[in-house]
Amino acid sequence: MLFQPAIIALLLASAVSVLMLAAAAPFALQLVRHWDIRSGSERQLQLERRTYLMSTLLSFVFATQLLALLLFVFNADKMSVMFVGAMCAVGTLNANEFGFPALISQIGVFFLAAAWLVVNHADSRAYDYPLVRVKYLLLLGMLPFVALAFGLQLEYFLNLKADVITSCCGSLFSGEAKTLTGDASAMAPQQAMILFYSALALVIVAALFNVRQPRGGYLVAGLSGIAFVAAMIGIVSFVSLYVYEHPHHHCPFCLLKPEYDYQGYWLYLPLFSATASGLGVGALQPFARIPSLATIVPQLARRLSWITALGFALFTAVATFMIWNSNLILLEG
């Protein structure tokens, strides 16, 4: 199944990203070892110049990863016609055991990349580049993840054989399935709703609090992560039901389809950007005490906390509106 245009495009993008990061790794090591802002030596000058290349390269790689995530989901949805029993992205991703790991690793890389970009932004605004070492160490730490995402994707596409009988979202997300996604949808809507709204309320409050007093970075980041998971569970277990107006259709991907007026984008765009900036707040927190960042970090953290609070609030509002607007009655009373 390699000769599908979108698959070629995705593999090309991932492979080039891995190659670029791998090519950057020796330079990153050099930077970590020899960086000395006070020195005026030739090497230091060269390293300083190289940082420009590195941050451009990495911003590009990470922007690519974001686009690739979108294309990956689109592609899975498009290919569903080629698999017996697959009606949307779930069926395609389920066609072999690498589908969902590939998607999850892609999402993971996306969030890591976003956090890195936030740190990079803070660093480039300080006059003495205090985070260069940290940044490039982090980069070296991320390389395996990007490579893993590429490997999973390659494995997934190589093992993809058209015509395999896969399960449609109807059976996967039904209560009997003994998978994580099955558990998520099997959760009673009432419980899921409590979890959903309380996690979102907590993260919004924490983010707003952080706007006033930017000290709770880790809290915001942790809560963002929890809220992201709770939001996904909520989408699978009840929001999607209200959108489809069908008590057993738990699919988180069909929301993105034209049949449902692309409503999913209204959910996923705020959710992903809010989570990414929430994690970014946490990534900044350890550097608040560095003197040259003393004014920059709180300022940036404030702004990101705003985005987090607004994003999650928008997400909650959209989800609530969908429930409100639906003709389905899931909970009585």
Sign of the CA dihedral running 132, 135, 140, 146? negative
Site for another protein in 81-100 (CB under 8 A): 81-84
Q: Is 6 in the site for another protein (CB under 8 A)?
A: yes
Options 25, 29, 32, 57; binder of another protein; rule CB under 8 A? 57
205 binds another protein per the rule CB under 8 A: no
Residue 78 in contact with another protein, rule: CB under 8 A: yes
The answer to the question of residue 163 lying near another protein (CB under 8 A) is yes
Q: Minimum CB separation from another protein for residue 54, in Å? A: 9
Contact stretch for another protein (CB under 8 A) within 73-81, 92-100, 101-109, 247-255: 73-81
- Taking CA atoms, 66 is separated from 5, 23, 71, 269, in Å, by 19, 21, 9, 12
Q: Which is nearer to another protein, 83 or 173 (CB)?
A: 83
**Ordered DSSP codes for 137-174:** HHHHHHHHHHHHHHHHHHHHHHT--TT-----HHHHTS
| 265 in contact with another protein (CB under 8 A) | no
Distance from C-alpha of 246 to C-alpha of 260, rounded to nearest angstrom = 13
Residue 7 within binding range of another protein, rule CB under 8 A? yes
Closest approach of another protein to the CB of residue 60, in Å = 6
Q: With binding defined as CB under 8 A, does residue 26 bind another protein?
A: no
Binding of another protein by 159 (CB under 8 A) = no
User: How far is the C-alpha of 182 from the C-alpha of 171, rounded, in Å?
Assistant: 9
CB-nearer residue toward another protein: 2 or 180? 2
Q: d(Cα 136, Cα 180) in Å, to the nearest integer? A: 35
d(Cα 89, Cα 54) in Å, to the nearest integer? 35
Give the pair of three-digit tokens for residue 23. Answer: 């090519």
Exactly one of 36, 52, 97, 128 binds another protein (CB under 8 A); which one? 52
Query: Minimum Å distance from CB 52 to another protein?
Result: 5
Position 320 contacts another protein (CB under 8 A): no
Closest CA to 140 of 24, 47, 280: 24
64-72, 136-144, 217-225, 292-300 -> range binding another protein (CB under 8 A): 64-72
* Binding range to another protein, per CB under 8 A, among 2-10, 212-220, 268-276, 293-301: 2-10
CB 86 within 8 A of CB 24: no
174 torsion bin: left (phi>0), alpha (psi -120 to 50), beta (else) = beta
**Two tokens at 235?**
């989408």
User: Residue 103 to residues 95, 98, 239, 244: CA-CA distances in angstroms?
Assistant: 13, 9, 21, 23
Closer residue to another protein in complex, CB, 102/233: 102
CB of 2 to another protein, least distance (A): 7
From the list 36, 37, 39, 67, which residue makes contact with another protein (rule: CB under 8 A)?
Answer: 67
Closest C-alpha among 98, 68, 100 to residue 161: 98
Contacts with another protein, residue ranges (CB under 8 A): 2-10, 12-13, 16, 20, 49, 52-53, 56-57, 60, 64, 67, 70-71, 74-75, 78, 81-84, 124, 162-163
